[in-house]
Structure 1
Amino acid sequence: MVKRFVTKASDVYPIRTDDDDKIPVQTFWEANKTILDDHGDEPAYTTFTQTKADTGYCTSESNKTYSHKEFYSEAQKFAQALVACGFPRHKAVNIIGFNSVEWVSADMGSMMAFGISAGVYETSSAEACQYQAAHSEAHTVVVEGEMQLMKYQKILDDAIEGGLSDLKVIVVYNMNPEDVSARKEAFRKHGVTLYEYKQFIALDKNDTHLAEVNERKNAQVAGNCIKLVYTSGTTGVPKAVMISHDNMVFTTKTAALTMNGIGPGDRVLSYLPLSHIAAQMLDFGFPCILGGHATFARPDALKSGTLGQSLVAVQPTILMGVPRVWEKIAAKLRAMGAESTGLKLKIGSWAKGVGFQRTASREGLTAAGESKFTNPTGGLGYSLANALVFSKVRAALGLNHCRLCVTGAAPISMDTLDLFAALDIPLLEVYGQSENCGPASICTPNLGYRKGSVGRKIPGSELRIDPETQEVQFTGRHVFMGYLKNEEKSADALTEDGYLASGDQGTIDKEGFVSITGRIKELIIGAGGENVAPLPVEKAMKKAMPYLSNCVVFGERKPYMGMLVSLCVEMDPATMKPTDQLEGVSLQWTKSVGSKAATYSAAKQCEVIKREIDAGLKEGAELVISRAATPRFWIWLEEDLNIPADLLGPTLKMKRNNVYKVFHEQIEKAYAENDAAFKQKAEVTTGGN
């Protein structure tokens, strides 16, 4: 087998191109120079929604917009400061905090100094921060505020896993300079210099190291590593995905080609974690490589409901959301719809029918193989529905100018897709992973759209389904360099002929649209040896019971399947933990079935709700393709899935193995009770014989 990966930070990845490649091989800097030359005075980033941090101090000015040239200058100052502090080539800079101009300046500045940037999830423990910093050999760590700073002080003071021998510099933003100064000695005794952000970027104000920074930048080639994206580590220690210049430039420019040419003039709202590949591509690659404009949402955007306010203010032309973001918006829309009566209700119902038909007309390809997306049908009926309903909904959501609404990072329910389709807001699904720099397949105006599919393969790549395992596999310039310091896992990630083995199962229809049907590692093997993919079962159950927040199928080595369920509850904005108060579609549903329960604890004791979910289970069973895959009973989750409990990842994707582990005793107890109940029922039926 030809080795098709590298695992050292200093390795140069061999880029393979075809004669018909539309995207030239470039470094990030070559692509960025085009933007600086042609659009340098246009906006790159805006911090106007940034408000005071919890500490009461905010490094960034409010309502400040950085042009592409101004942002480049900010990043260059960061790079010069790194060099002034003795930053070696190919070393890492770890960055932890909410999206901000400081975050992306450190990101670009690290790359400019011939280093490697590596985002750290905000929710990471001190132990997780230590692992990543040690593994990536971080010379510098950039942190937001005192809470994140304390994690690294704990690592050093307690010598967690031996401490951090490579760490020399910590830069903190959104913390009062006086408070930073007071903490310097606590780090100095460990050989680490602590800087406040503005103090740090002023270290080379005389440009002593500018020539060195430019030399380092110009010495880079397209096969050099510029970023590490750490996987969430749900099945072991996190792996560091190595991303090259070419990975990022090729993937960003290819995505733009499929989306009617996104670039200067387009706007996005930056709120998804920049440590995730999706935000790296959209919130960093989009401005720097395509010339777009990103505005940073408030740090509490997903906690306190300010995301909607930010959308209205920013009016994005592109909005990327993980399924739970779209589901929360959908829940609010349903709640609003439930209040409609009389003529307003009739108009709304009629308009949704029109919208659904219009979205359906966008699906698939013409006989000539061209996308139907940009030529929907609708006529006068649509014009009226748009004036009376759709335009008002889009205005309320801040989507007046949004031409691309994208969902990815986790499966989304058909119920949610249908709701937005009925409002003439088709959600474009994208499929991929960190190892292929984001998208492997995508629904776009140019490639085509089919509701419920994750689109067609991106241009310049190949995608196939393994005939034996039904695994989705792909190859192309978007596929990663390898896992840092991990030869074994890097080799395991690729097939013998160099395709990335996704671990996901799927199908491809005759027009090339891909559908994901499950995950190989998530297959549940029942007591009889039958393989059950939980995802299709859960989708069927959510379709029958759209009022559920979560349903999690289980049944490993059991004679039949069961299911954990929960209802939607309000989240505490400070802790991100679930409260007891029902909300949204779940609260509307409990009222509609005659239950007085307004809290989760009350709902779990309510016989009306129990009967309704029992009925929903039977209805969902009719949608499941096999009896072996059908859950025969359900039990309550003790609380809704959440990030602090480590049951959801940073992008709100369920950590299935963690759910099984946390609720193992509850599941085993439920099987014991149901086995006894089924046995008793059988004895009654047969008369005890």
Structure 2
Amino acid sequence: MNAATHPSTSLHCLSYWAQKTPDRVYLTQPFPDGSTQDMTWGEAADQVARMAAHLRSLNIPEHSNIALLGRNSAHWVLADLAIWAAGHVSVPLYPTLNGDTAAYILEHSEARLLFLGKMDGTVDGWNDIKGILPVDLPLISLPMSPRRDTPQWTDIVANTAPQPMHSPSPADLATIVYTSGSTGRPKGVMHSFQSLISVADGLKQLFPVNQDDRMLSYLPLAHVAERAAVENLSLFYGFHLYFANSLESFQEDLQRARPTLFFSVPRLWMKFYLAINEKLSPGKQKLLFNLPLVNRLVKKKVLTQLGLNHCRAALTGAAPLSPEIIAWYRNLGLELLEVYGMSENFGYSHSNRPGQTRVGTVGVANPGVEHRIGDNGEVQVKSPGQMLGYYRNEEKTREDLTEDGFLKTGDMGEIDSDGYLRITGRVKDLFKTAKGKYVVPVPLESRFNHPKLEAVCVAGANQPQPCALILLSEETREELATHSNHDELERELTEVLTRVNAEAEPHEKLAFAVVVNEPWRIENGMLTPTLKIKRNVIESHYADRMAGWYDQNRRIVWE
């Protein structure tokens, strides 16, 4: 698709490809029984038109908010499109929400109907959510929904004649995306069709994407990153979109998709890295990667094991990924590009570009984006993907936008002479030690790297010095459970602590590192649905133990 032919909204993109390449496969959905289903562009548009006709027959007021809950699936995307095709606004909910937060979003968004998709209560919040669904809220079940006592998508499209789809204006409200809630109640970010499509429109100026590309959708579609980088790109460029069935089948799903473009978040890039280290130790990697005749073969084999040997560009975003890990992937030959964006600008802000990457930065401003640093060191951005505002919260909208229309990101940063942006922390993450000095935790966390660490949280507000709470990888926790001797690991962690402190300001030097016992998960509230640490929850969880850890006067503390 080129600028001359490009449709004005994601819904128009569906119609464009359905007319141009009706028999080309658009969506591939795996099922728990091991089977897969391919759906062409023509079939996708037909189902969307039929469901939209059904929604209109329900006489829901025009431009109503319709909720969408479920893990990623082909029909999640079709439901999103059907909501728009009926002239309504989609409100996606994270499948991992707890019941209280899900109830809040359904009430706050004034949802008139709920599409219920793939949920089972094993790796999602269905067991908690199912009890809070309002009895008067109409439900429509997508394939793989846990509810069979509601109208079913399959039956509806089989028994409803298609009608012409609604044609939205680019300025119309398309969706309300609720933030992942790392602090406080989620906010409803309102986006127009124009802000949604701006990501794909701008991307074509950065590197070529075409209908022959392939992507795998597995991160929450309720988050703007997956919605922008995967759903909307597939609609804009008309490429083949695959879905993952489960965590257990992820490698199989990845091998099926053979993605040419891939998007992931730092926590998962770390998991992939740790999995390779389990099979090929860092010491052996260093040896093999330095052998002239062997290194290319070994690196290709590693990428093949990851399922990324066909990938020509990979993106990482949503949270910082340490420069060392980015460099490791790039050394393998993977064009891993760190990007930056927020729910409030639909993820369209900054990116590193192929051949122009500067590791340790989130790249330069995307086409059409303006950026600057405010008086307090806060990054401010004006983007084509900018939100219309927060739903039912005009006060917060005014608070987060400057008078001249820049978004206050809440991130601290620096812009170098070439325009590359380096994120140095969150404004709200700053904390004071007992000495009255401010500590910026993110840079310290990004430098605290070890092959057996999964996550780090720097804490220590009102203490003499900050400290690091560290979570070992799952494999390492299992290994230590059977072999109680952890002297060697403690020695290595002490070396990491010493290295981090050597680069830190005196007031930022870490007094010690605590190896915590309890894993940080979405389910226990310590991670957001996009796998970022919930700093306030983690700090609160360990607050009553802090004084005792400081009293131990040890470099490495084992909880």
Match of 1:663, SS?
A: helix
State the one-letter code of the partner of 1:554.
Answer: A
Partner of 1:453: 361
- Cα distance, 1:428 vs structure 2: 0.3
Deviation at 1:311, TM superposition (A): 1.9
1:554 has 2:459 as partner: yes
What displacement does 1:608 show? 4.5
Q: State, as a whole percentage, how many aligned pairs show the same letter.
A: 30
What are the equivalent positions in structure 2 for 1:461-500 lying under 5 Å apart?
Answer: 461-466=369-374, 468-500=375-407
Please state how far the C-alpha of 1:409 moved relative to its aligned partner. Answer: 0.8
Gap change, CA 1:635 and 1:22, over 3 Å in 2: farther
TM normalised by structure 1 equals 0.75
Distance 1:231 1:345 in 2: 41
Aligned residue for 1:429, secondary structure, equals: strand
Give per-residue Cα distances to partners, 1:377-398, cap 9 Å, x unaligned: xxxxxxx567533333332322
Task: Determine the structure 2 residue equivalent to 1:430.
Answer: 339
- Read off the aligned partner of 2:189 and give its amino acid letter: V
SS at match of 1:258: coil
Q: 1:312 Cα deviation (Å)?
A: 1.9
Counterpart of 2:27 in structure 1: which amino acid? Y
1:532 offset after TM fit, Å?
Answer: 1.1
What is the identity, as a one-letter code, of the residue corresponding to 1:231?
A: T
Aligned residue runs from structure 1 range 533-572, under 5 A: 533-542=440-449, 545-570=450-475
Call closer, same or farther: CA 1:169–1:619 in 2, change over 3 Å: closer
Query: Would the aligned equivalents of 1:25 and 1:222 in 2 still touch at CA under 8 Å?
Result: no
Partner residue in 2 for 1:613: 493
* Residue identity matched to 2:258: Q
Contact 2:183 2:534 in 1 (8 A): no
In 2, are the aligned partners of 1:172 and 1:195 still within 8 Å (CA)?
A: no
Output the amino acid matched with 1:199: D
1:514-593 equivalences in 2 (<5 Å): 514-542=421-449, 545-570=450-475, 580-582=477-479
**SS in structure 1 of the partner of residue 280 of structure 2:** helix
Corresponding residue to 1:324 among 259, 264, 267: 267
Is the CA contact 1:562–1:631 (under 8 Å) kept in the aligned structure 2? yes
Question: Does the alignment pair 1:312 with 2:255?
Answer: yes
Contact kept in structure 1, 2:69 and 2:94, CA below 8 Å: yes
Alpha-carbon distance in 1 for matches of 2:454, 2:422: 23
Equivalent residues of 1:549, 1:640 under 8 A apart: no
Q: Does 1:154 align with 2:131?
A: yes
Helix, strand or coil: the match of 1:350? coil
Partners of 1:139 and 1:169 within 8 A in 2 = no
The AA in structure 2 aligned to 1:393 is V
For residue 25 of structure 1, report the CA deviation from its aligned partner. 8.9
1:203-602 superposed matches below 5 A? 203=159, 205-207=160-162, 210=163, 214=165, 217-218=166-167, 220-259=168-207, 261-298=208-245, 300-301=246-247, 304=248, 306-338=249-281, 346-350=287-291, 387-445=296-354, 448-466=356-374, 468-542=375-449, 545-570=450-475, 580-582=477-479, 597-599=480-482, 602=484
Q: Is 1:645 the equivalent of 2:524?
A: yes
CA 1:340/1:34 → structure 2, altered by over 3 Å: closer, same or farther?
same
The structure-2 alpha-carbon separation of the partners of 1:33 and 1:142, relative to structure 1 and needing over 3 Å to count, comes to closer
Aligned 8 A contact 2:98 2:129 in 1: no
Aligned to 1:90: 63
Are the structure 2 counterparts of residues 500 and 24 from structure 1 closer, same or farther at C-alpha, using a change threshold of 3 Å? farther
> Match of 1:663, as an amino acid?
Y
**Given residue 434 of structure 1, which amino acid in structure 2 is its aligned partner?**
S
Deviations 1:499-533 (A, max 9, x none): 01100011112221111111100011122221111
TM-score norm. by structure 2 comes to 0.91
SS, match of residue 204 in structure 2: helix
1:656: which partner in 2?
535
Contact 2:65 2:110 in 1 (8 A): yes
Deviation (angstroms), 1:336: 2.9
Counterpart in the other structure of 1:118:
91
Q: 1:608 to 1:337 in 2, by over 3 A?
A: closer
Deviation for aligned residue 1:42: 2.3
Counterpart of 1:428, as a letter, is L
* Unmatched runs of 5 consecutive residues or more in structure 1: 1-20, 54-61, 157-162, 182-193, 352-383, 571-578, 583-596, 679-689
- Which of 546, 549, 554 aligns to 1:670? It is 549
How far apart in 2 are the matches of 1:151 and 1:608?
42
Q: Is the 8 A contact 1:23 1:253 kept in 2?
A: no
Q: Which moved more, 1:546-555 or 1:506-515?
A: 546-555
Indicate if the aligned counterparts of 2:181 and 2:528 stay in contact, CA closer than 8 A.
Answer: no
Distance 1:22 1:430 in 2: 28
* Deviation (angstroms), 1:102: 1.6
**CA-CA distance at 1:638 after TM superposition:** 2.5
Residue identity in the other structure for 1:401: H
Q: How does 1:28-47 map to 2 (within 5 A)?
A: 28-47=10-29
- In 2, distance between residues paired with 1:315 and 1:450? 27
Tell me the distance in 1 between the aligned counterparts of 2:275 and 2:440.
Answer: 31
C-alpha distance after superposition, 1:389-441 (max 9, x if no partner): 33333323222321101111111122211211221223100101111111310
Provide, for residues 353-390 of structure 1, a one-character-per-residue CA deviation record: whole Å limited to 9, x for no partner: xxxxxxxxxxxxxxxxxxxxxxxxxxxxxxx5675333
Aligned pair in 2 of structure 1 residues 25, 104: CA closer, same or farther (>3 Å)? closer
Deviation string 1:83-142 (CA, Å, 9 cap, x unpaired) is 122222221221222111221111110111111112111111222221111111111112
- Aligned-residue offset at 1:607: 4.4
Q: Tell me if structure 2 keeps the 8 A contact 1:475–1:499.
A: yes
Rounded Cα–Cα distance in structure 1 between residues aligned with 2:286 and 2:339: 33
Q: Please give the secondary structure, in 1, of the residue aligned with 2:36.
A: coil
Between the aligned partners of 2:379 and 2:297, the Cα distance in structure 1 is: 43
Moved more, 78-87 or 455-464: 78-87
Three-state SS of the structure 1 residue aligned to 2:397 is helix
Task: From 139, 160, 163, give the equivalent of 2:112.
Answer: 139
Query: Alpha carbons of 1:599 and 1:136: their partners in 2 closer, same or farther (altered >3 Å)?
Result: farther
Question: Offset of 1:150 from its aligned partner?
Answer: 6.1
Query: What is the rounded CA distance, in whole Å, between the counterparts of 1:537 and 1:511 in structure 2?
Result: 25
Structure 2 residue runs without a partner (length 5+): none
Task: Name the aligned partner's letter for residue 175 of structure 2.
Answer: K
Match for 1:558: what amino acid?
A: Q
Contact preservation (8 Å) 2:15, 2:45: no
Shift of 1:350: 3.2
3-state SS, counterpart of residue 632 of structure 1: coil
CA spacing shift, 1:195–1:499, aligned 2, 3 Å: same
Q: Structure 2 vs 1, CA of residues 106 and 628 (structure 1 numbering), >3 Å: closer, same or farther?
A: same
Does residue 1:180 correspond to 2:148, yes or no? yes
Distance 1:563 1:236 in 2: 23
Amino acid at match of 2:275: K
